Amino acid sequence: MEKIPVGILGATGTVGQKFLVLLENHPFFAVTELVASPRSAGKPYAQVCAWKQSTPIPERIARLVVKSTEEKLRSPVLLSSLDSSVAGPVEEAYANRGHCIISNSTSHRMDADVPIIIPEINHQHLEIIKSQRYSGAIVTNANCSTMFLSMALAPIYREFGIEAVQVTTLQAISGAGYPGVPSLDILGNVIPFIGGEEQKMETETQKILGTLEANRIVEASIKISAQCNRVPVYDGHMETVSLKLKSRASVEEVRQVMRDFKGLPQELRLPSAPERPLVLFDEEDRPQPARDVWLNRGMSTLVGRVRECSVLDIKMVILGHNTIRGAAGAAILNAETMLSKGLIEGPKPEHMELVLESRGD
């Protein structure tokens, strides 16, 4: 099938580089345009990018000339990893020109007409983009820590209801981008503050778990208290979580609904979708970032130590790969989902058509 052209906004940054690694040889999408700051524009990508990935820059990508955010683009789909300080107006400008923006930036996440999509949970929220004010569209990913919390909560919330959540994060340094946190600040240390992170977890989760009613998203009524810490781990955000449920449930009942959890990406066998979006561990000392974060290509949310809480009802440990499922991989999975639902123009594989037809989508 003919591949859909994709542009990368913020192509030289950490998440921009991850986009390029994950999209190399993708069955649906091909990177055709790279966009970065004015100081990089007009130069070959390899010349302006401080490449920090474990594989070399793809030769075709290395030769592409970087464009500025002021230039017109041909790619209908733009994956954005722009810094939030510039992302808002740039993404709006491209959406007004008819492009479909799938963004990692926080700039538009809480806009009333912009969904925060985790397709296993709330792909139905994509319907709201049909009434956006743009000739194109803007869709956002969750904040990386919000992503893993929401994935773990979703099946529990649907089955038993959740009244309150207490979450403490231990977030990897790669979440701060490159060069990240100064070594003298983070080595042998924990920094108990990440700007804006706690508010994002407390508000975005409610929007993601909410319902679409009369073309607006009604947020879930869950009280969430978050405390966020930066720790000297390279990749992988860990979260310790306690929940107060609305309906009584045993530990095994909670574990079972998490084991059974799957969504549209798994039904459609989308290329970036993990077969198991939630992976539960039985070992008392797992999951661990050094040993588990790359499980299922970094696209699964990993859960361990599900047990009774002496203050609330249930407590657990959650882990996810912050730059893969928490960023670049999430945006690509959203693009695949939008293609499957006809929100991005392009041919769909036959098996997708059959599944969607049987669902009535």
Q: What is the CATH number of the domain that holds 279?
A: 3.30.360.10
> Do residues 23 and 107 share a domain?
yes
Dihedral sign (CA 207, 208, 209, 211): positive
Range of the domain at 284: 144-321
Indicate the Cα dihedral angle 153, 155, 160, 163, nearest 10°: 20
> Do residues 65 and 89 share a domain?
yes
pLDDT at 355: 67
Q: What is the CATH number of the domain that holds 97?
A: 3.40.50.720
Catalytic, 237? Answer yes
- Measure the CA–CA gap between 238 and 322, rounded to whole angstroms: 9
> Do residues 135 and 64 share a domain?
yes
pLDDT at 129: 97
Provide the 10 A C-beta neighbour count for residue 188: 7
Q: 75: closest CA among 40, 31, 41?
A: 31
> Do residues 214 and 345 share a domain?
no
- CB neighbour list of residue 155: distance below 8 Å, 6 or more residues apart: 257, 258, 260, 261, 278
The active-site residue, picked from 49, 100, 108, 144, is: 144
- Measure the CA–CA gap between 27 and 270, rounded to whole angstroms: 10
Catalytic, 321? Answer no
The active-site residue, picked from 99, 108, 237, 321, is: 237
> Do residues 75 and 215 share a domain?
no
Structurally, how many domains does the chain consist of? 2
> Do residues 131 and 173 share a domain?
no
- Measure the CA–CA gap between 79 and 72, rounded to whole angstroms: 15
Answer left, alpha or beta for residue 62, where phi above 0 means left and psi between -120 and 50 means alpha.
Answer: alpha
Q: 31: closest CA among 73, 71, 68, 72?
A: 73
Contact 130, 138 (CB under 8 A): no
> Do residues 173 and 311 share a domain?
yes
> Do residues 354 and 246 share a domain?
no
> Do residues 87 and 220 share a domain?
no
Q: Cβ-count burial of 133 within 10 angstroms (0-12 exposed, 13-18 middle, 19+ buried)?
A: exposed
pLDDT at 143: 97
pLDDT at 2: 87
Work out the widest C-alpha separation in the chain, in whole angstroms: 61
> Do residues 16 and 55 share a domain?
yes
The pTM assigned to this predicted structure is 0.96
Q: 238: closest CA among 271, 281, 275?
A: 281
> Do residues 294 and 174 share a domain?
yes
pLDDT at 80: 98
- Measure the CA–CA gap between 240 and 138, rounded to whole angstroms: 32
> Do residues 88 and 13 share a domain?
yes
Q: What is the pLDDT of residues 117-153, one digit of tens each?
A: 999 999 999 999 999 999 999 999 999 999 999 999 9
Which tokens belong to 326?
């928490």
Which tokens belong to 299?
């696209």
pLDDT at 353: 73
Per-residue pLDDT in tens (0 to 9) along the chain, 361 residues: 689 999 999 999 999 999 999 999 999 999 999 999 999 999 999 999 999 999 999 999 999 999 999 999 999 999 999 999 899 999 999 999 999 999 999 999 999 999 999 999 999 999 999 999 999 999 999 999 999 999 999 999 999 999 999 999 999 999 999 888 999 999 999 999 999 999 999 999 999 999 999 999 999 999 999 999 999 999 999 999 999 999 999 999 999 999 999 999 999 999 999 999 999 999 999 999 999 999 999 999 999 999 999 999 999 999 999 999 999 999 999 999 999 999 998 777 777 777 677 777 7
Specify the pairing of strand 223-230 against strand 137-140. Answer: unpaired
Q: CA 181 → CA 79, 98, 172, 194, 234, distances in Å?
A: 25, 37, 10, 11, 11
pLDDT at 358: 73
